[in-house]
Structure 1
């Protein structure tokens, strides 16, 4: 998905990784390096013996030919993505280092039309320990059954709390490319080093975020060489790496809540500050992993900004599940009404019990055949003084004007691109 050109010495390779500087990698690594997180790379295979990837690549699966998930001669793409995510470099200032250098890569060789399909690869990744799935490839199709299979696999991943990150496509149009456009996936477009959208980056509602994607340095599929290229593939890899950083630091957050942190901290360049978000090209903006790691951001609903697949909507009746904060608030209000009704019925029953006890006591006091004397005071349980709580402790405050924080934001939550060092 990108053209490549050879690069010079390894120390120059590190210097040319402009995206790491733009993403404040040195500061990011003080908070997280992705330790303990497995990122599946569904692609054309990964060169596990590359000097910058040794020790960070798991065994994986080859759905194309069987055997190991190593690339064929001339195939660089999967290795490039793996190095952008989890390359560790081979010296203090040498080689490619990924944004999440302590994450592990699960290589899955499945691409093009010769394999069983992206859906099979996604399910394999979920079942073999990945918590982030990087799909730096996409396809267009008029075959609804093929689209359904892919979308069902993304829903399967989301139901197992695994985040699928997909490239938006490199055709410079508004066509939906899958799995990025599948409900539940996080679609990513590409920007250049000035923050402007790359001219070939696809646009549309399936673009949720953007990330660096031009002149990106990465590792070769054979030997220990390097190359540079352009594409939403690279942007997807950087976004998957950012998700891995967050999953390492916030292991209790759901996949949707990880996406929420990325969305809520995304930025726009100064020249694009007037855009309403989500924008068809930028989505919610350019990833800012440092802010996503450090800012105080409410966890939000289970699925955050991700579109909830229909199958998951049907399976879950829990009021906390929803595609947005607005749906969360609606669900909470509904729950409050139900509990309030139960409280009213409960009070009515208690009142009836009290009334019966009073009548019964009066019958006892008047049972002597004459007017009741002062006698001993009658004591009743004090239920009537314990009214049902007026506030549901699980209810979020509702503003008079309902607002969906994932729709039509006049400006991004965070300020600028590139971020300040």
Structure 2
């Protein structure tokens, strides 16, 4: 099995890619096959509920015992509501229709007692009639950056600040997307919240706004799970402190929620931001990297959605080419669940520089974002494909860092530009008491995008995100009598003309 691969140059994808949590697997049961008695992972880890040691008393349990000895079984996700499914059954919860149909209610986290041959166990489990799919709980190792990070910190600059030249360069990416004009058109609304699934944030950073909510942490790793890597800082058990020990999440947060001092204001305006730390910190070649299990990421995503965020930024991914032929696509259930709740998902396309699919970006319904430079030219490292919707600035972008400011490059940092625009669009629609789903948001972003500055742009999407044009097109669309009649197939370009 392969690990979930970071957004880095293809040449740097080495043996770090091939970790999975030992003896731990994710199994999705078919609809209607989940026993009520199985408790959730949160109930087991935080409330003293014992995991189940059997599932069906039949072939499922016999196969697990044969390959791995005794087992501990729990649901990966909590239900959206707190109502008990059946009184007296500890940990059993009432999952609603969206949770059942998307599959999040049917995902089991299984830990075997003995070391197992993962492929043999998964092939055997996959043959059981009640099983929809099975996969290893892969470790995600995420350096994220396509170029080395340049930082201004107290160690590199006594002022711990950015220069006038830096500040001018910082504004280039924001002006390219017409962000200042967009914030004048729609300042955002605190009731519209962006979820940031990443390495956490430095919440007390002086350049971040007060719109950032407390957030939480779903990283749960032990040294024995990560091979030769060295874990750094807090990597044990879920908690409510999404403290960033890598810097990537803080960089994304600055693009969304900078306060507008030395850095330009964040693209999400007055909208809220809830950070979730789904990737902890590890050391590889003396460099800090993000690291987390697939189950950590999906658990964090599910909780974000249940907290009623409207937009989720996902600057991580797995190359389809890194999966074996029969491996399930990662994050499938949680993506379906988000879309069923009308949550807008935005993901970085990848930094491989070739045409390929990364997930979650390539999942249907997810807005996939590539990278351009500050002159609207596509970046050579940006992953291409028919699934890519559009691009945003992702080369030498100034943003917040761990101890000051950093200049970053990668599609990881293009995605937050688009997530911010989606938040402004959601706020504008809410101001009119009208809904906005992912399909409408994607249509508007594609149709309002500005052209690339160069030719040979196949696979990079419809153009470069234009925040003001997107809001103007949305405003016209909200005025259209077609809006509520056809939310999934509207935006007839012949009937709507852009202004501005």
Q: Shorter-chain TM-score: what band?
A: 0.5 to 0.7
Is this contact kept in 2: 1:32–1:249, CA < 8 A? yes
Quickly say closer, same or farther: Cα 1:63–1:319, change in 2 above 3 A: same
Does the 8 A contact of 1:100 with 1:242 survive in 2?
yes
Structure 1 residues 69-218: aligned runs within 5 Å:
69-73=241-245, 75-89=246-260, 91=261, 94-111=262-279, 112-114=291-293, 116-140=295-319, 141-142=322-323, 147-148=328-329, 150-218=331-399
Equivalent position of 1:63 in the other structure: 218
SS at match of 2:477: coil
Q: Distance in 2 between matches of 1:119 and 1:234?
A: 21
Structure 1 residues 143 and 82, CA, compared in 2 at 3 Å: closer, same or farther? farther
Distance 1:131 1:51, change over 3 A: same
Partner of 2:461: 283
> Structure 2: how far apart are the matches of 1:25 and 1:115?
34
Tell which structure's C-alpha radius of gyration is larger. Answer: 1
Picking from 383, 390, 413, the partner of 1:234 is 413
Among 259, 263, 266, which residue is 2:446 paired with?
Answer: 263
Q: Distance in 2 between matches of 1:325 and 1:97?
A: 32
Report if the CA contact (8 A) 2:330-2:360 is conserved.
Answer: no
Shift of 1:24: 2.1
Q: Please report how far the alpha carbon of residue 31 of structure 1 lies from its aligned counterpart in structure 2 after TM superposition.
A: 1.2
Pairs within 5 Å for 1:361-400: none
Structure 1: how far apart are the matches of 2:401 and 2:312? 21
CA positional deviation for 1:119: 2.7
Aligned residues: 306
CA distance in 1, matches of 2:459, 2:330: 26
Structure 1 match to 2:199: 44
Residue of structure 1 in register with 2:436 after alignment: 254
Partners of 1:146 and 1:87 in 2: CA distance? 39
List alignment gaps of at least 5 residues for structure 1. Answer: 305-317, 327-403, 407-412
Q: Is the 8 A contact 1:88 1:98 kept in 2?
A: yes
Provide the TM-score with structure 1 as the length reference.
0.66
Higher helix share: 1
TM-score (norm 2): 0.56
TM superposition shift of 1:257: 1.4
Structure 2 match to 1:309 = none
Q: For the residues of structure 2 that align with 1:25 and 1:166, how far apart are their CA atoms?
A: 20
Q: Output the aligned Cα RMSD.
A: 3.0
Shift of 1:149: 5.2
1:300 and 1:172 map into 2 onto residues whose CA distance is 40
Aligned partners of 1:119, 1:143: CA distance in 2, in Å?
20
Q: Would the aligned equivalents of 2:242 and 2:276 in 1 still touch at CA under 8 Å?
A: no
Greater fraction strand: 2
- Unaligned 5+ residue runs, structure 2? 1-143, 220-235, 280-290
Cα drift, residue 195 of structure 1: 1.2
SS of equivalent to 1:106: strand
Q: Once the 2 structures are TM-superposed, how far is the Cα of residue 87 of structure 1 from its aligned partner?
A: 1.4
The match for 1:315 is: none
Give the Cα–Cα distance (whole angstroms) in 1 for the partners of residues 193 and 356 of structure 2: 30
| Cα distance in 1 between the residues matched to 2:412 and 2:399 | 12
Instruction: State the alpha-carbon separation in 1 of the partners of residues 326 and 478 from structure 2.
Output: 35
SS in 2 for 1:42: strand
* Partners of 1:267 and 1:414 within 8 A in 2: no
